[in-house]
């Protein structure tokens, strides 16, 4: 039986007085290239698209359809942290920075934030709850995961057109065999994360 996330966490918080409850999630911690991106989503409980789920459990086509539906009925903010910020801050802090930027991009002010994972961004000055496995529990977080994944995939597809050979249009910057082989053959691009070991090792060997 397939279990989908629901609106229970949001309803509980609303019953305690938090009228505007949003979900936030990030995507792109593991890739060797490209930014880390996050989305923050407020869903109207009367207009929640059907089939929301953890973006990793959905096909690209289904994510695209759901993302379009989310953008039609929800308040959405998108944020990112650049490769330079990832290298200077570390990937965890950069991920949290992307989340903070996504929340700041919303046109509504949240009363409570549901954050996917076990940590709350330290720069977040709002009431918040960390929800482990949140994209499988909360429809708001699931919606955020879909928007963030769709947005980042589009960024990586665009970068792939300018830097062919690394397979970013399919691996989205993750360390696939093709990507790792291309790194050795073609070298490091400005969009690679130099603080990540496979990239750092190639740069070190080159020196």
Residue numbers belonging to the annotated binding site for a divalent metal cation: 25-26, 116
Using alpha carbons, select from 160, 135, 118, 136 the residue that is nearest to residue 31.
Answer: 160
Q: Which residues are annotated as a binding site?
A: 25-26, 116
Q: Residue 83: which H helix or E strand, with range? A: helix 83-89
Strand spans (E) along the chain: 21-27, 36-42, 75-81, 112-116, 128-131
What gap in Å lies between CA 100 and CA 39, rounded to an integer?
9
Burial 83-95 (b: 16+ CB within 10 A, else e): bebbbeeebebbb
Q: How far is CA 78 from CA 14, 97, 98, 104, 196, in A?
A: 24, 11, 8, 9, 24
Instruction: Give how far the C-alpha of residue 110 lies from the chain's centroid of Cα atoms, to the nearest Å.
Output: 19
């Amino acid at each position: 039986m397939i279990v989908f996330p629901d609106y229970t966490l949001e309803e509980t918080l609303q019953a305690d007085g938090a009228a505007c409850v949003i979900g936030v999630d990030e995507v792109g911690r593991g890739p060797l290239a490209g930014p880390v991106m996050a989305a923050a989503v407020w869903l109207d409980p009367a207009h929640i698209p059907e089939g929301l789920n953890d973006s990793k459990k959905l096909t690209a086509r289904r994510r695209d359809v759901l993302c379009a539906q989310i953008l039609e009925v929800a308040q959405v903010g998108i944020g990112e942290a650049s490769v330079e910020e990832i290298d200077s801050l570390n990937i965890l802090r950069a991920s949290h920075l992307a989340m903070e930027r996504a929340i700041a991009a919303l046109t509504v002010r949240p009363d409570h934030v549901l954050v996917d994972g076990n940590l709350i961004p330290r720069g977040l000055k709002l009431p918040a709850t960390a929800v482990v496995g949140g994209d499988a529990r909360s429809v708001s977080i699931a919606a955020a995961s879909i928007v963030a994944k769709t947005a980042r995939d589009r960024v990586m597809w665009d970068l792939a057109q300018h830097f062919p050979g690394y397979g970013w249009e399919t691996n989205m910057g993750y360390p696939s065999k093709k990507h790792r082989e291309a790194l050795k053959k073609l070298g490091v691009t400005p969009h690679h994360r130099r603080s990540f070991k496979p990239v750092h090792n190639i740069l070190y060997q080159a020196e």
